[in-house]
């Protein structure tokens, strides 16, 4: 892995992790599902326009359409929908920590349900990662964290993990990466618009802070981080690129503390370190299996 790949991985992790803080700002002043639907509508249209400009087509293979619809629902509507609603009552750092366990959940489900090979290092990583979550959440629950919001974060991570394990061969066929991402966003926007119409009353407190957070969320973690991710995967492969996910809990908690002033204690620091180590161990074990 060269220096450029390391720089791209660090940039991706930082951008991706910052979304929890900007989201927390948005949902404090606007309904979460409607806001997320609007975000995906804008991002999806931009993505498709750019894809068409690059000569990409929306004539996808059947496997790609299946993956696009599944990910549009599971990742954009369920995973992020649950997280955006959860962050109306829980801290951004809590949402970041739970979301960061997705690679651990994928590893555990792959091992238990799909009988995928797991090395001793990978098993150690799973145990350590979930132990780190227990350290943080035990202290947070005693401190009064909203259990309903916490469960929504867990449901979101599970939805994304199941989608990740279910979709196979989604990269084959026609179309292109940017087109697939744009279509996924439009599918998520449609599902979230229906959910918002059924569950929310639209009331928005428009402020410069809200506008800045919304634009930032669309451009940086939404489009820029996605573009960097696919460039990184093309450079070093998906397995190695996924190693940078171990930084998500570290950056997510740190950014929330700096920007939002969320308090941290030794339980958080210890738990984040253990989770990051567990994710890293799981990803490194996958690299050894691939070789």
- pLDDT of 234 above 90: no
Judged by phi (left if over 0) then psi (alpha if -120 to 50, else beta), residue 206 lies in beta
3-state secondary structure 47-104: HHHHHHHCCCCCCCCHHHHHHHHHHHHHHHHHHHHHHHHHCCCCCHHHHHHHHCCHHH
Mean pLDDT score across all residues of the chain? 85
pLDDT of the residue at 243:
76
- pLDDT of 212 above 90: yes
Which pLDDT band, with edges at 50, 70 and 90, does 175 fall under? low
Average pLDDT over residues 230-240: 75
Enter the DSSP assignment of 174.
S
- Tell me the three state secondary structure of residue 263: coil
- pLDDT of 173 above 70: no
Are 217 and 265 in contact by the 8 Å Cβ rule? The answer is no
CA dist., res. 142 & res. 81, Å (int): 26
With 0-12 / 13-18 / 19 or more C-beta atoms within 10 angstroms meaning exposed / middle / buried, residue 30 is buried
Which pLDDT band, with edges at 50, 70 and 90, does 255 fall under? very high
CA dist., res. 98 & res. 221, Å (int): 18
The mean-pLDDT minimum among 81-85, 88-92, 287-291 falls in 287-291
What DSSP string runs through 215-243? Answer: HHHIIIIIIIHHHHHHHHHHHH-HHHHGG
Give pLDDT tens digits for 105-123: 888 887 887 777 778 888 8
pLDDT of the residue at 171:
47
- pLDDT of 218 above 60: yes
**In 10 A of CB 267, how many CB atoms?**
16
CA dist., res. 211 & res. 224, Å (int): 18
Are 76 and 187 in contact by the 8 Å Cβ rule? The answer is yes
- pLDDT of 170 above 70: no
CA dist., res. 161 & res. 114, Å (int): 13
pLDDT of the residue at 169:
47
Domain of 243 in residue numbering reads as 3-290
Report the domain count for the chain: 1
How remote is the C-alpha of 123 from its chain's centroid? Answer: 23
CA dist., res. 26 & res. 66, Å (int): 31
Are 86 and 156 in contact by the 8 Å Cβ rule? The answer is yes
- pLDDT of 70 above 80: yes
pLDDT-above-70 percentage for the chain: 94
Which pLDDT band, with edges at 50, 70 and 90, does 288 fall under? low
pLDDT of the residue at 122:
83
**In 10 A of CB 231, how many CB atoms?**
16
CA dist., res. 250 & res. 268, Å (int): 10
pLDDT of the residue at 135:
87
Are 79 and 224 in contact by the 8 Å Cβ rule? The answer is no
The mean-pLDDT minimum among 4-13, 168-177, 219-228 falls in 168-177
Are 165 and 110 in contact by the 8 Å Cβ rule? The answer is yes
- pLDDT of 20 above 60: yes
**In 10 A of CB 66, how many CB atoms?**
16
pLDDT of the residue at 116:
75
């Amino acid at each position: 892995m060269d220096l450029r790949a390391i720089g791209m991985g660090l940039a991706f992790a930082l951008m991706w992790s910052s979304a929890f803080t900007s989201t927390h700002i948005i949902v404090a002043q606007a309904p979460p599902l409607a806001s997320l639907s609007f975000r995906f509508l804008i991002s999806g249209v931009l993505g498709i326009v750019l894809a068409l400009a690059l000569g990409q087509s929306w004539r996808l293979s059947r496997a790609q359409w299946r993956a696009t619809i599944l990910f549009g629902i599971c990742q954009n509507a369920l995973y992020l929908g649950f997280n955006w609603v959860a962050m109306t009552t829980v801290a951004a750092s809590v949402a970041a920590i739970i979301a960061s366990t997705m690679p651990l959940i994928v590893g555990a489900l792959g091992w238990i349900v799909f009988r995928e090979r797991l090395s001793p290092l990978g098993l150690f990583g799973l145990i350590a990662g979930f132990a780190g979550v227990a350290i943080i959440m035990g202290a947070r629950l005693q401190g009064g964290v909203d259990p309903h919001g916490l469960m929504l974060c867990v449901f979101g991570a599970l939805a994304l993990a199941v989608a990740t394990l279910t979709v196979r061969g989604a990269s084959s066929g026609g179309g292109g990466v940017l087109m697939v991402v744009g279509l996924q966003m439009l599918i998520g926007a449609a599902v979230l618009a229906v959910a918002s119409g059924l569950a929310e009353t639209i009331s928005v407190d428009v402020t410069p802070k809200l506008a800045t957070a919304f634009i930032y969320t669309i451009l940086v973690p939404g489009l820029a981080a996605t573009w960097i991710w696919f460039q990184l995967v093309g450079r070093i492969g998906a397995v190695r690129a996924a190693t940078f996910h171990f930084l998500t809990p570290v950056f997510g908690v740190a950014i929330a503390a700096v920007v939002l002033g969320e308090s941290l204690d030794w339980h958080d620091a210890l738990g984040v370190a253990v989770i990051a180590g567990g994710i890293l161990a799981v990803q490194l074990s996958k690299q050894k299996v691939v070789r």
